[in-house]
């Protein structure tokens, strides 16, 4: 049955795509839709088992849209609220992240000053009951739906808190409020006289949040340079990116062009305000999670030689979406244009219109990208995101560090530490001492620690390969055993070996328990080689200027 719906969806998609290339008659599309309707009716009437027609048609719609690109999607009525929340950053609720774990839902981090924080909810609290109804065994969306509601309404939440003598059952009454997800979770001074702004999304309120941060850093702290951190910023509203660019560029500067299907579907975006910091040295941090509107920000500042980009190549999303109203109160989020930054380049990394024979897609290889020039003549390229002016190489994450973070050992230890210590020193003074690290090691149960020891795994594969290839012998087996003994380390020793990599994660988790998300960001900056690279650059004005005026013209 599902195959039939995918086939019908593919048929519709093929005709719609062909229309743009061959201008097929409307009758062809009407005929295909009639075929699809007929298939739905026949299956509904005659298929041997009962079917969920609504679910099946949704499968067909998703299959059709999925053959276009990942960003064109159907949003039914029951999902519109979540979609609006993503765009506005606002919702009615208690103001906390939640997480699924072991079949239940836990508090993972209340926002600073939120109703959840004021009620005393903490990371690690198991959510058991909401308004008298048990939520044990429920999913994150189900629990989220119960926690959300109109501002001003009340709810009762019962949680089970670990590590408080014996696990405690706590019930709190909370009044929901209009929650604004912060786009700027933290800003502050780094490197003595430099401003740092972490920007995580682009919503309707983002420009005002960034403006507040810039004004405070410039007027209260008198910083001499700015670092705008766009790492892991997946983007959002294009218009917010344009407004933010206006804080750094002269009024009337063209920062973006979008081009749709028709020759007349081109729109030019220019800054419309007097800049807040037109000349202050600026560094923008990017990584593979920097996408969409954040790439517009970074790319325009690079193309106009207004900022030095530091970090790693960005994601490469050069497509623009808009929403269209659909019958029965649904929405269609559809890709309607590509965007081009000031140098004229398109930074889209994947051409979804040209797929491999098996339907797969791949990034545009660097050999097929094209050269463009910044305002000052520096060479930049299209087709694969924003390439930084200074690339930062991060140390590879060890497997044990990955397991400590992935399996919530650091998260759980921070919860235990918070339960046993009412306060800690200010973030910049707090350290993961030998005593704290030893407590962390003791909190790990070796029998429950899911530790993929790469060397041991490879050795076992080599041993099996030797048997298959006919090299097995007592002497070889003895050598394998000796090598296995050499590679086998106690967990305690491995935790000591990788302490320098694990300790920063512990520091960030513990800091968040006392100082919420701003504290976690501040703690992370203490071990951030990308931010350190930006600080060093801004403290070297000659090098900064040389990068922006490099004479690599052709």
Q: Could you list the active site residues?
A: 292, 303, 317
* Tokens 């849209």, residue located: 65
Paired strand residues for 325: 331
> d(Cα 373, Cα 357) in Å, to the nearest integer?
35
Contact in structure between 346 and 299 (CB atoms under 8 Å):
no
CA-nearest of 386, 368, 389 to 552 is: 389
Residues 6 or more apart whose Cβ sits within 8 Å of residue 373: 343, 379, 380, 553
Element (H, E) at 517: helix 499-525
Phi/psi region, residue 387 (left: phi>0; alpha: psi -120 to 50; beta: rest), is beta
Paired strand residues for 320: 337
> d(Cα 111, Cα 125) in Å, to the nearest integer?
15
Contact in structure between 373 and 363 (CB atoms under 8 Å):
no
Contact in structure between 545 and 551 (CB atoms under 8 Å):
no
CA-nearest of 387, 391, 398 to 349 is: 387
Element (H, E) at 108: strand 104-110
Tokens of 86: 């993503």
Give the gyration radius of the chain's Cα atoms. 27
> d(Cα 182, Cα 196) in Å, to the nearest integer?
16
> d(Cα 413, Cα 124) in Å, to the nearest integer?
10
Question: Residue-wise over 305-338: b if at least 16 C-beta within 10 A, else e?
Answer: bbbbbbbbbbbbbbbbbeeeeeeeebbbbbbbbe
> d(Cα 429, Cα 408) in Å, to the nearest integer?
25
> d(Cα 515, Cα 394) in Å, to the nearest integer?
27
Q: Edge-to-edge strand order for the sheet containing 282-286? A: 186-190, 194-198, 225-229, 282-286, 308-311, 390-391
CA angle at residue 169 from 166 to 175, to 5 degrees? Answer: 145
Q: For the purposes of burial, counting CB atoms within 10 Å of the CB of 513, is it exposed (0-12), middle (13-18) or buried (19 or more)?
A: buried
> d(Cα 213, Cα 196) in Å, to the nearest integer?
9
CA-nearest of 256, 253, 254 to 274 is: 253
């Amino acid at each position: 049955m599902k195959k039939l719906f995918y086939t019908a969806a593919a048929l519709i998609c093929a005709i719609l795509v062909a229309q743009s290339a061959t201008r097929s008659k409307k009758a062809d599309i009407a005929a295909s839709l009639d075929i699809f309707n007929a298939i739905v009716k026949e299956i509904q009437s005659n298929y041997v088992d009962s079917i969920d027609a609504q679910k099946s048609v949704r499968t067909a719609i998703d299959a059709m849209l999925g053959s276009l690109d990942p960003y064109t999607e159907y949003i039914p009525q029951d999902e519109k609220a979540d979609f609006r929340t993503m765009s506005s950053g606002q919702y009615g609720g208690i103001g906390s992240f939640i997480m699924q774990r072991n079949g239940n839902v836990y508090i993972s981090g209340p926002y600073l000053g939120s109703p959840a924080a004021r009620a005393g909810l903490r990371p690690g609290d198991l959510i058991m009951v909401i308004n008298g109804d048990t939520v044990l065994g429920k999913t994150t969306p189900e629990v989220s739906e119960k926690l959300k509601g109109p501002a001003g309404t009340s709810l009762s939440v019962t949680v089970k808190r670990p590590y408080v003598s014996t696990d405690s059952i706590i019930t709190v009454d909370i009044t929901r409020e209009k929650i604004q997800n912060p786009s700027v979770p933290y800003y502050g001074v780094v490197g003595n006289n430099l401003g740092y702004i972490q920007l995580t999304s682009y919503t309707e309120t983002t420009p005002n949040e960034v403006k507040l941060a810039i004004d405070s850093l410039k007027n209260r702290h008198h910083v001499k340079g700015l670092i705008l951190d766009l790492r892991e910023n997946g983007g959002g509203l294009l218009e917010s990116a344009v407004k933010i660019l206006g804080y750094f560029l002269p009024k009337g500067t063209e920062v973006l062009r979008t081009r749709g299907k028709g020759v007349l579907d081109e729109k030019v975006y220019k800054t419309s305000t007097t800049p807040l910091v037109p000349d202050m040295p600026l560094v923008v941090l990017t990584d593979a999670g920097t996408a969409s509107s954040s790439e517009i920000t970074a790319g325009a500042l690079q193309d106009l030689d207004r900022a030095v980009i530091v970090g790693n190549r960005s994601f490469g999303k050069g497509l623009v979406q808009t929403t269209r109203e659909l019958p029965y109160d649904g929405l269609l989020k559809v890709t309607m244009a590509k965007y081009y930054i000031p140098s004229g380049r398109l930074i889209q990394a994947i051409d979804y219109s040209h797929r491999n024979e098996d339907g797969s897609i791949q990034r545009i290889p660097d050999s097929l990208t094209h050269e463009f020039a910044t305002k000052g003549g520096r060479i930049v390229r299209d087709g694969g995101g924003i390439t930084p002016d200074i690339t930062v190489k991060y140390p590879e994450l060890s497997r044990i560090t990955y397991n400590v973070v992935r399996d919530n050992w650091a998260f759980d230890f921070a919860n235990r530490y918070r339960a046993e210590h009412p306060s800690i020193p200010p973030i910049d003074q707090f350290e993961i001492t030998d005593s704290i690290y030893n407590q962390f090691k003791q909190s790990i149960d070796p029998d429950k620690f899911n530790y993929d020891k790469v060397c041991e795994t490879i050795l076992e594969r080599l041993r099996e390969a030797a048997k298959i290839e006919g090299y097995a012998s007592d002497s070889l087996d003895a050598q394998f055993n000796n090598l296995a003994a050499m590679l086998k380390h106690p967990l305690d020793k491995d935790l000591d070996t990788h302490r320098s990599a694990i300790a920063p994660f512990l520091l960030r988790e513990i800091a968040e328990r006392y100082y919420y998300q701003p504290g976690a960001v501040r703690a992370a900056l203490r071990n951030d080689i990308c931010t350190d690279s930006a600080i060093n650059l801004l403290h070297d004005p000659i090098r900064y200027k040389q990068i922006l005026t490099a004479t690599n013209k052709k």
